Amino acid sequence: MKKIKDEKGMNKKEMSAKRRYDEKNPSVTFRMSKEEKLELEKFCGIMDMSVSEIIHDFFFSQKEGAIVLFINGIDYGRQLEKNLNLIWYYCSICHQKMFIEPNTLVHHAMIQYMLEHGWGHSECINKKPL
């Protein structure tokens, strides 16, 4: 009886063993720039570890720390975004910045005051007919 082989020269028994192995041990791939790859390979050489070992060790030994760093990074990004969206003006007494959070009562009162007193860009005010 002749053994059936695939295009890679593997018989059915070898193919099913490889299929089972691949199912239990899926591969993970990602792309990076050439410079990043060279840097990673240099790091692997220094650590005397493969890329797989570095990623595996980092992820599974530092998973909780990595999750905390990730969450802290998200929180930092949200806080930064919030700070960028803050509204401020100078205090008439101490001349330091006063910060007002968007969509608060103070913010809406400030908008109303500006509307009532005709505040706007100087260019817009100059264009406005009298």
* Averaged pLDDT, 111-127: 82
Q: Report the distance separating Cα 84 and Cα 100, nearest Å.
A: 12
10: its two tokens: 């593997």
Q: Report the distance separating Cα 13 and Cα 5, nearest Å.
A: 10
* Averaged pLDDT, 87-114: 82
Q: How far is CA 63 from CA 7, 16, 91, 119, 128, in A?
A: 40, 33, 47, 53, 60
Are 58 and 66 in contact, with CB atoms under 8 Å apart? yes
pLDDT at 2: 53
Residue 1 or residue 28, greater confidence: 28
User: Beta-strand (E) ranges in the chain?
Assistant: 87-90, 97-100
pLDDT, tens digit, 9 for 90 and up, residues 42-96: 988 888 889 888 888 777 766 666 667 667 776 776 676 666 667 777 777 888 8
Q: Report the distance separating Cα 94 and Cα 97, nearest Å.
A: 9
pLDDT at 81: 65
Q: Report the distance separating Cα 117 and Cα 113, nearest Å.
A: 6
pLDDT, tens digit, 9 for 90 and up, residues 7-49: 566 666 667 888 889 899 888 888 999 999 999 899 888 888 8
Are 85 and 102 in contact, with CB atoms under 8 Å apart? yes
pLDDT at 54: 82
